Amino acid sequence: MFRYYLNLGFRSLRRNPVLTILMVITLSVGVAASMSTYTVLHMMSGDPIPHKSDRLFVPQLDTGGMVGYTAGEEPDDQLSYPDTQRLLASGQGIRRTAIYGINDAITPERADMAPLLANGGATTADFFAMFEVPFRYGNPWHADDDARKADVIVLSRATSEKLFGDVDPTGKDLTMGETSYRIVGVLGDWQPLPRYYRIINGNGGAFAGSDEFFIPFSTAVRHEKRNSGNNNCNGDGPEPGYAGWIASDCTWIQFWFEGASVGEQASIKAWLDDYASEQHRLGWLKRPVNTRLRNTMQWLEHLEVVGRDSRIQVWLAFGFLLVCLVNTVGLLLAKFSARAGEVGVRRALGATRSAIFQQYLIEASVIGLVGAALGLALSFAGLWLIGQQSGAMAAVAKMDWAMLLATLLLSLCASVLAGFLPTWRACQVRPALQLKAQ
């Protein structure tokens, strides 16, 4: 009977076409509004590395001075260079990495190309394995290169293609600033959303921009590269010069631990507390122990990667969908009421109440199906409009398969939900009254 009811549902679209069109439009506009905003939220709040996000931890230490100190306040989001060095050497977790942003001018080997100002990151060899960065050519540098402060570089795919075209440039030399670096690898397509591994950056924020190259952390320090992002210092600030800066308690480095298991979050946190306690005793950390160790999703939440405005927009859009649903209920009531006579006839010919219920609910679903198709098209249009606002919005205003399926399901569920009351009313028709009235 399902096919029969489905067939009747499609035929019914042609009956009262104005009502049908109104219902489809109402439903699709509501679905499009809610799904386009929800898609943006979904893309913003998605887990960028779902299979290990709960094993990647960001440590925070309270490096502030005692002036203006309030107990328990949120520690700084970045670490100082001395703390970074000690945490890298701590042996905690199975991998540790630190990263800070740098930029410099690249001199292309082609004479006809102007120098490029490139944004990148200074990090350690563990970075690539920890964040499972794909490589198109070559490999990451080795831990030895970190230790030797070697002049090696990994390029992003876009940077490599810009400089060398679609060929493997590994082994070649690249001049950046005053230094010649040997290219050891070229990344594959890698643009995690959000850019969780380095949310605090000076080139695009969480959803736009990308790192165009990576060099070893130790090499960057050897070449006295300043960071291109946020730098917080206490009191009178660092001593003059690069050496004074890196020896200070200024915070400018993002740090990650990778644990072997989820449970390691507790043990690393305990170690971090011990470390902070020791450094407080030694006088390096001025404030009493106040640490945090957040996993990836906790970290993104802490940094409010998804703003409150985005969530409110989604709530408003779903409220609008509710209004559309109420309208659809009214339109369906009108459509089904006009067919009370048909219900009476079908009941007289042997249809049970449940058969009528199924028929009309499937009919409402067919409207939902058509509404879903239009709603999907309108959602794409809505996302395109959202994407026009900024580069960051363009990065997240994209529908993935899950959202596409969710849009179809939402439309279908919405129509079934809207169809319940009208369908129930249709089932209550007293056939005797309708047959006489026909």
Partner 1 sequence: MLVMNNLSKIYRTQMIETHALRGFDISVRAGEFVAVTGPSGSGKTTFLNIAGLLEEFSGGEYLLDGVNVHGMNDDQRSRLRNEKIGFIFQGFNLIPDLNVFDNVDVPLRYRGFAAAERRQRIEQALGQVGLASRQQHYPAELSGGQQQRVAIARALAGSPRILLADEPTGNLDSQMARSVLELLEEINSSGTTIVMVTHDPELAARAQRNVHIVDGQVTDVLHEPVLRGGEQIGASIQPNL
Binding region for partner 1 (CB under 8 A): 1, 4, 11-12, 14-15, 341-342, 344-355, 430-432, 435-436, 438
Please state the closest distance from residue 19 (CB atom) to partner 1, in A.
14
Burial 147-167 (b: 16+ CB within 10 A, else e): eeebbbbbbbbebbebbbeee
Is residue 275 within 8 A of residue 86, CB to CB? The reply is yes
CA torsion through residues 299, 301, 306, 308, sign? negative
Q: Please, which residue, 266 or 432, has the CB nearer to partner 1? A: 432
Burial 275-294 (b: 16+ CB within 10 A, else e): bbeebbeeebbbbebbbbbb
Q: Please, which residue, 113 or 432, has the CB nearer to partner 1? A: 432
Please state the closest distance from residue 332 (CB atom) to partner 1, in A.
17
Please state the closest distance from residue 166 (CB atom) to partner 1, in A.
60
Q: Where are the alpha helices (DSSP H) in 15-64?
A: 17-45
What is the rounded distance in angstroms from the CA atom of residue 202 to the CA atom of residue 151? 23
Please state the closest distance from residue 46 (CB atom) to partner 1, in A.
46
Please state the closest distance from residue 49 (CB atom) to partner 1, in A.
54
The DSSP bridge partners found for residue 101 are: 121
For residue 288 the two structure tokens come to 């009493």
Q: State whether residue 106 is helix, strand or coil.
A: strand
Please state the closest distance from residue 392 (CB atom) to partner 1, in A.
51
Please state the closest distance from residue 340 (CB atom) to partner 1, in A.
12
Q: Please, which residue, 204 or 341, has the CB nearer to partner 1? A: 341
Q: Where are the alpha helices (DSSP H) in 191-249?
A: 217-222, 241-247
Q: Please, which residue, 292 or 339, has the CB nearer to partner 1? A: 339
Please state the closest distance from residue 354 (CB atom) to partner 1, in A.
7
Answer left, alpha or beta for residue 403, where phi above 0 means left and psi between -120 and 50 means alpha: alpha
Please state the closest distance from residue 11 (CB atom) to partner 1, in A.
6
Is residue 49 within 8 A of residue 132, CB to CB? The reply is yes
| Count of other CB atoms within 10 angstroms of residue 426 | 26
Distances (CA, A) of 430 to 286, 343, 344, 361, 422: 82, 9, 7, 19, 15
What is the rounded distance in angstroms from the CA atom of residue 201 to the CA atom of residue 211? 10
Q: Please, which residue, 63 or 423, has the CB nearer to partner 1? A: 423
Q: Please, which residue, 280 or 353, has the CB nearer to partner 1? A: 353
Q: Please, which residue, 182 or 353, has the CB nearer to partner 1? A: 353
Is residue 253 within 8 A of residue 81, CB to CB? The reply is yes
Q: Please, which residue, 385 or 433, has the CB nearer to partner 1? A: 433
Answer left, alpha or beta for residue 44, where phi above 0 means left and psi between -120 and 50 means alpha: alpha
What is the rounded distance in angstroms from the CA atom of residue 332 to the CA atom of residue 420? 10
Q: Please, which residue, 119 or 434, has the CB nearer to partner 1? A: 434
The four Cα atoms 398, 402, 405, 406 give a dihedral, to 10 degrees, of: -90
Please state the closest distance from residue 432 (CB atom) to partner 1, in A.
4
Residue 32 φ then ψ, to 5°: -65, -45
Q: Please, which residue, 223 or 346, has the CB nearer to partner 1? A: 346
For residue 57 the two structure tokens come to 């931890």
For residue 350 the two structure tokens come to 């042997």
Please state the closest distance from residue 327 (CB atom) to partner 1, in A.
25
Q: Please, which residue, 283 or 350, has the CB nearer to partner 1? A: 350
